[in-house]
């Protein structure tokens, strides 16, 4: 009997360990449609990936008096659909959280962004892409592969998800802002062998919202434009926000804006005196955190959202 109980205990402990290894550190709320990006595993996936974890500690700085989730060791990237609760206007945004291609600020620059997009009638698709060391391209192509695959999957499911495939944009913060610019300039050819019909869909965004981006200007080369982000007339319109005192350097937004201007691509840029880096859309006393209002107006300006732009004077 004692032997049987010992064996049973070992089996229970072993099963619990397996389940813990399989459960990701962050999961969307119940009822959110979620797809694995790669049905047979991500390209060049390691055979024994590290356990997905939240690296946040009590010592990490708070944003607008609240902590954030810092997700890392993501080896099974996913897409999660957040449809608006009210009227669905058909537009959709694929959101890329930032984190230096090492972690994902999955709430600050992910789920909270989806809540805002839903509030203005837009569908949000949150991309949990691979980290760490998954970019910037071409140092690693993993995150950009995930982004390309994500855009194809959204358009493949457009009818099912009540999305207009001609109004699918991207929105990214920091490294995610770089990823938004990267997919805006690397959409003609997939960086992986095609898998299914999703990879026959276009992965070009129809518009891009790029918030405090990195890696677009080369600080060690007097802030020259990153040659791997090659803007052409086919690059989609962009909305950019950054603070002059951003330690990641405001030149990242400026050089991309100038490249869009030279290529004849419509662009709107908002530069603020203060704001630093990593505020997401949490409201603080700083004016830069009102950027979602300006983005909402821009969506109407470029006709991604129907009707007149909101009257900001009434707020």
224 beta partners = 218
In the predicted model, what is the mean pLDDT of residues 132-138?
98
Is residue 5 in a domain? no
Q: With cut-offs at 50, 70 and 90, classify the pLDDT of residue 46.
A: confident
**pLDDT at position 220, please?**
92
Is residue 128 in a domain? yes
Q: With cut-offs at 50, 70 and 90, classify the pLDDT of residue 304.
A: very high
Is residue 8 in a domain? no
Per-residue model confidence as pLDDT tens digits over 205-262: 999 999 999 999 999 999 999 999 999 999 999 999 999 999 999 999 999 999 999 9
Question: Which residue segment(s) compose the domain that 156 sits in?
Answer: 50-304
How far is it, in rounded angstroms, from Cα 209 to Cα 180? 8
In the predicted model, what is the mean pLDDT of residues 85-113?
97
Query: 30 CB contacts (<8 Å, ≥6 apart)?
Result: none
Q: How far is CA 80 from the centre of its chain?
A: 11
CB 142 within 8 A of CB 128: no
Top-confidence residue, 14 or 299:
299
Q: With cut-offs at 50, 70 and 90, classify the pLDDT of residue 301.
A: very high
How far is it, in rounded angstroms, from Cα 268 to Cα 291? 12
DSSP label of 52: P
In the predicted model, what is the mean pLDDT of residues 151-180?
98
DSSP state letters, 94-160 = EEE--STTT-EETIIIIIHHHHHHHHTT-EEEEEE--BSS--STTT--HHHHHHHHHHHHHHHTTTT
Is the pLDDT at 313 greater than 60? The verdict is no
Q: How many domains does the chain have?
A: 1
**pLDDT at position 8, please?**
42
CATH number at residue 78: 3.40.50.1820
Is residue 43 in a domain? no
In the predicted model, what is the mean pLDDT of residues 8-12?
42
Instruction: Quickly list H helices, the chain.
Output: 2-22, 112-119, 142-156, 175-185, 251-262, 291-301
Is residue 38 in a domain? no
In the predicted model, what is the mean pLDDT of residues 151-160?
98
Per-residue model confidence as pLDDT tens digits over 66-96: 999 999 999 999 999 999 998 999 999 999 9
**pLDDT at position 314, please?**
56
Per-residue model confidence as pLDDT tens digits over 194-211: 999 999 999 999 999 999
Is the pLDDT at 10 greater than 80? The verdict is no
How far is it, in rounded angstroms, from Cα 142 to Cα 124? 22
**pLDDT at position 24, please?**
74
Average confidence score pLDDT of the chain: 92
Per-residue model confidence as pLDDT tens digits over 116-132: 999 999 999 999 999 99
Is residue 45 in a domain? no
Is residue 39 in a domain? no
- Proportion of the chain above pLDDT 70, given as a percent: 91
**pLDDT at position 20, please?**
38
Element (H, E) at 276: none
In the predicted model, what is the mean pLDDT of residues 148-175?
98
Q: How far is CA 106 from the centre of its chain?
A: 9
């Amino acid at each position: 009997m004692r032997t049987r109980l010992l064996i049973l205990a070992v089996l229970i402990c072993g099963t619990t360990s397996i389940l813990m290894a399989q459960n990701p550190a962050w999961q969307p709320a119940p009822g959110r449609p979620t797809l694995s990006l790669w049905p047979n595993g991500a390209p060049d996936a390691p055979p024994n990936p590290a356990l997905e974890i939240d690296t946040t500690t009590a010592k990490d700085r708070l944003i607008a008096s609240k902590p954030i989730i810092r997700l890392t060791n993501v080896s099974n990237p996913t897409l999660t659909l957040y449809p608006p609760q009210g009227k669905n206007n058909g537009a959709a945004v694929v959101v890329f959280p930032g984190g230096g291609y090492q972690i994902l600020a999955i709430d600050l620059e992910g789920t909270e962004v989806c809540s805002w997009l839903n509030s203005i009638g837009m569908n949000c698709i949150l991309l949990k892409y691979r980290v760490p060391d998954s970019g910037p391209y071409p140092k690693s192509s993993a995150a950009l592969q995930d982004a390309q695959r994500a855009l194809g999957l959204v358009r493949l499911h457009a009818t099912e998800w009540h999305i207009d495939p001609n109004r699918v944009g991207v929105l990214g913060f920091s490294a995610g802002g770089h990823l938004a610019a990267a997919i805006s300039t690397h959409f003609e050819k997939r960086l992986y062998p095609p898998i299914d019909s999703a990879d026959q869909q276009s992965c070009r965004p129809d518009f891009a919202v790029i918030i405090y981006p990195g890696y677009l200007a080369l600080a060690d080369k007097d802030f020259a434009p990153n040659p791997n982000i090659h803007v052409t007339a086919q690059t989609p319109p962009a909305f950019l926000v950054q603070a002059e005192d951003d330690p990641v350097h405001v030149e990242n937004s400026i050089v991309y804006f100038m490249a869009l201007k030279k290529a004849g691509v419509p662009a709107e840029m908002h530069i603020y005196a203060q704001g630093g880096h990593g505020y997401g859309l949490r409201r603080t006393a700083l004016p830069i955190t009102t950027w979602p209002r300006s983005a909402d107006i821009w969506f109407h300006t470029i006709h991604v959202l129907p009707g007149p732009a909101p009257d900001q004077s009434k707020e």
